[in-house]
Amino acid sequence: MTATTATLAAPPGERIGRILEIGAAWLLAFLWILPLLYAVWAAFHPGAYATRFEPLAPLTLENFATAWRQAPFARYFLNTFLLVTSVLVAQFVLCTLAAYAFARFRFVGRDVAFALVLVQLMIMPEVLIVENYRTMSQLGLVDTILGIGLPYMASAFGIFLLRQTFKTVPKELEEAARVEGCSFLQVLLKVYVPLAKPTYLAYGLVSVSHHWNNFLWPLVITNSVETRPLTVGLAIFGAPESGVNWSVISAATLLAVAPLLIAFLLFQRQFVQSFMRAGIK
């Protein structure tokens, strides 16, 4: 409200500048959402209208049905779901334990160990696909969902984030719990974990969207329908060799992004705040 009055009170030159600025912000927003709008257009119209933009073009769901028939998307969804949840659960458990050790235990070699953990922030599993593939084939985990997730389960980022949070927990709370006879694991579960809920939410959203979208390592390590996540399935489906038309590819693309996109639209504020929280170090 104050903005409008301020704009009205401003001298005309400034007002024009302000209008231009708003226009530019909107134009950029339009450009940024345009690819998604286009995908929606192509997916909901018959193939003939994929490149002709007529406002009265007939709507159809046929493209979605075709995509669903032509590739095992149901299986891909299941695989991605299994991958994302198993990675998330493992990350929560492993990172919580490690972060607790780093935050509250003075053990020999702690600082060196922490520095070694942080190495993973720089050298992500994506970079080591060649050697990790070798390891996975030695472990017999090639083409398994566990094989996709395993390199990501101990996450330096998660450990770092939780350690920061745990360090802010007042020691008195821990001591009080100790006096009441809690073991150190009970202290972790009853004091630290509940107080770190916002961090878990933030890290969880970042992790889920990362692994829902991850491609290179899953491509390398999977070679069957039973293990392929959505991204890899979509890449195979959309390959120019497959000869599938634009509208169907757009429909498949929307199918693959729909769960995450809908979740994002519903919980936009939490998403943005989570990414913010995860980003502030």
Report the nearest approach of other proteins to the CB of residue 13 (Å).
12
Binding residue (CB under 8 A) for other proteins from 20, 116, 176, 266: 116
User: With binding defined as CB under 8 A, does residue 213 bind other proteins?
Assistant: yes
**Could you count the other beta carbons within 10 Å of the beta carbon of residue 10?**
13
Which residues from 239-268 bind other proteins, rule CB under 8 A? Answer: 239, 246, 249-250, 253, 256-257, 260-261, 264-265, 268
User: With binding defined as CB under 8 A, does residue 223 bind other proteins?
Assistant: no
Q: Which two tokens stand for residue 75?
A: 């299986």
User: With binding defined as CB under 8 A, does residue 173 bind other proteins?
Assistant: no
User: With binding defined as CB under 8 A, does residue 157 bind other proteins?
Assistant: no
Binding residue (CB under 8 A) for other proteins from 5, 8, 13, 51: 51
User: With binding defined as CB under 8 A, does residue 110 bind other proteins?
Assistant: yes
CA atoms within 13 Å, Cβ hemisphere of 194 = 7
Alpha-helix runs per DSSP H in the chain: 2-9, 12-44, 62-70, 73-104, 110-122, 129-139, 145-153, 156-167, 171-179, 184-187, 193-195, 197-213, 216-221, 230-238, 246-266, 268-279
| Of 34-42, 59-67, 163-171, 190-198: span binding other proteins (CB under 8 A) | 34-42
CB distance 83 to 149 below 8 Å: yes
Q: Which is nearer to other proteins, 124 or 195 (CB)?
A: 124
Which residues from 122-151 bind other proteins, rule CB under 8 A? Answer: 122-135, 150-151
Which residues from 68-97 bind other proteins, rule CB under 8 A? Answer: 93-95, 97
CB distance 117 to 153 below 8 Å: no
CA distance 64 to 47: 12
